[in-house]
Amino acid sequence: MEWTIDFISQEDFKKHVKNTIKHYGTKLVSYDVKKFNRNFIDPVKMIFDKAVYGEDWETIIANEIFRQRDKSNTNEIGYFHQRIFNYIEHCRVPDNGKEGGWDVIYESPEGYVLDNGNEVAKVCVELKNKHNTMNSSSAGKTYMKMQNQLLHDDNCVCFLVEAIAARSQNIIWQTTVDGQKVSHNRIRRVSIDRFYEIVTGQSDAFYQICKVLPEIVKEVIDEGDELAVPKDKVYEEIKRVADGFEGTSENMGMILAMYMLGFSTYNEFDCIADKNTNID
């Protein structure tokens, strides 16, 4: 592909994507029934889901596997959004707990110009994935952290940068601390596209990243190396149990097999389980 982005090299971006995928870690491990049922699947819910959503059993099972994996993927996406700034000029990502515990710090010779025309040398960033992930307590603590930064450094501005913001914005952050509404011109709420614009000088910088991302992810996956797309075998293993219920239809066999995930020792279910030679 022709690389037209000038604020990060193709090599660096590809390396960052690869490192992000590596951070998926154990979530890339393939699922079998034992792992699938580790937190005890609710068979009744699965039966309702299949009927209400009109999906086949293979899709319902695949969706549940995806849900289980996705519960802990936020950290990996946070890694992607944060660590990419290591590769962008004038930005740095401090080690955990260092430099005030900020996620990203931006310092440019040109500085950052506030709405009132004043200029500051440094932008300290708290980065969040979604705009609705902070409760009032968390928001209050973050705001007080920013207030403290301004008390000790009057040549900076603090940003709450949101990857998934309600809208594209760079506004004064208005929130509530200890029951009082607070705001400050140098404490701001900024969508990630606007932050990219500030650090690169290009209004479409985040769009450029999003545009090339799918192809680079595919390249990294296709190249293989130590990265492996999981090959789940949950459906096949449940189907094998379903086939062991002789004299039942295919769908009823799958229903009974799903029941076995949670109810195999329950009254009467245990008798049905004992007759199925495909249940280990």
Q: Coil, strand or helix: which one is 171?
A: strand
Tokens 């195999």 correspond to 264
Specify if 10 maps to a domain: no
Q: What is residue 60's predicted lDDT score, i.e. its pLDDT?
A: 96
CA distance 142 to 188: 12
The sign of the dihedral angle between the CA atoms of 79, 81, 84, 90 is: negative
Cβ proximity of 129 and 77 under 8 Å: yes
**Which tokens belong to 169?**
């914005």
Q: Strands 156-164 and 187-191, how do they pair? A: parallel
In eight-state DSSP terms, residue 167 is S
* pLDDT at residue 227, rounded to an integer: 65
Based on the fold, state whether residues 175 and 238 are members of the same structural domain: no
pLDDT of the residue at 97: 83
For residue 101, give the amino acid letter.
Answer: G
Task: Determine the number of helices (DSSP H) and then strands (DSSP E) in the chain.
Answer: 11, 8
Residues 151 and 240 in one domain: no
Contact 194, 168 (CB under 8 A): yes
At residue 109, φ and ψ (nearest 5 deg) are: -55, -30
Number of domain units in the chain: 2
Q: Which domain holds residue 108?
A: 85-212
Sign of the alpha-carbon torsion through 271, 275, 276, 280: positive
Kindly report, residue by residue over 205-234, the tens digit of the pLDDT. 999 999 999 999 999 988 876 566 788 999
Query: How many whole angstroms separate alpha carbon 200 and alpha carbon 198?
Result: 6
Do residues 68 and 180 both lie within one domain? no
Residues 242 and 177 in one domain: no
pLDDT one-digit tens code per residue, 100-149: 999 999 999 999 998 888 899 999 999 998 766 678 888 999 999 999 99
Residue 36 is assigned to a structural domain of this protein: yes
Q: Give a yes or no: residue 15 inside a domain.
A: no
pLDDT at 234: 96
- Tell me whether residue 280 is in a domain: no
Q: Percentage of the chain surpassing pLDDT 70?
A: 96
CB 84 within 8 A of CB 104: no
Residues 167 and 259: their CA atoms lie apart, in Å, by 44
Chunk the chain into consecutive blocks of 10 residues (it has 280) and report each block's average pLDDT, rounded to whole numbers. 95 95 82 91 95 96 90 79 97 92 95 89 94 79 95 96 95 91 95 98 98 95 75 95 93 95 94 90
End-to-end CA, the chain: 50
What is the distance between the alpha carbons of residues 82 and 104, in angstroms, rounded to a whole number?
7
Q: Are residues 186 and 68 in the same domain?
A: no
207 plus 105 within the same structural domain: yes
CB within 8 A of 193, min separation 6: which ones?
168, 205, 206, 207
Do 220 and 227 meet the contact criterion of CB atoms below 8 Å apart?
yes
pLDDT recorded at residue 226: 57
> Do residue 94 and residue 196 come from a single domain?
yes
* CB 244 within 8 Å of CB 278: yes
- Reading the block at residue 32, the tokens are 């079998």
